[in-house]
Amino acid sequence: MTTKTVRHDVLGPWSLATSQDFWEGFAPAALRGQRLGTLTTVFRVDADWSVAELTLIQQDTVADVTVTGEGDLEAAVAQAMQFLALDVDAREWPEIGHRDEVIAEAQHELPGLRPCGFHSAYEAAAWSVLSQRVRITQAAHLRQRLIADHGDGGAFPSPETVLRLDLDLPGRKAEYLHAIAAAALDGVLDTAELRAMTPDEAMTRVQSITGVGPFAAELIVLRGANSPDAIPTHERRLEAAVAERYGTERSLTEVAEAWRPFRTWASVYLRALGERRSSGTEQG
Q: What is the pLDDT of residue 284?
A: 46
Say if residues 120 and 80 touch (Cβ distance below 8 Å). no
Q: What is the pLDDT of residue 32?
A: 63
Q: What is the pLDDT of residue 281?
A: 42
Core vs surface per residue 89-122: b (16+ CB within 10 A) or e: ebeebeebbeebebbeebbeebebbbbbbbbbbb
What band does 282 get if pLDDT is binned at 50, 70 and 90? very low
Q: What is the pLDDT of residue 283?
A: 44
Spell out the residues 6+ positions from residue 257 whose beta carbon is closer than 8 angstroms to its own: none
Say if residues 272 and 113 touch (Cβ distance below 8 Å). yes
Domains of the chain: 2-91 (3.30.310), 121-224 (1.10.340.30)
Three-class SS of 187-221: CCCCHHHHHHCCHHHHHHHHCCCCCCCHHHHHHHH
Share of the chain above pLDDT 90, in %: 81
pLDDT in tens, 13-51: 999 999 988 887 766 766 665 676 799 999 999 999 999
Check pLDDT > 70 for residue 264: yes
Q: What is the pLDDT of residue 29?
A: 65
**Rounded mean pLDDT, 153-182:** 95
pLDDT in tens, 218-261: 999 999 999 999 999 888 889 999 999 999 999 999 999 999 99
Check pLDDT > 70 for residue 280: no
Computed over every residue of the chain, the mean pLDDT equals: 92
- Is 0.85 topped by the overall pTM? yes
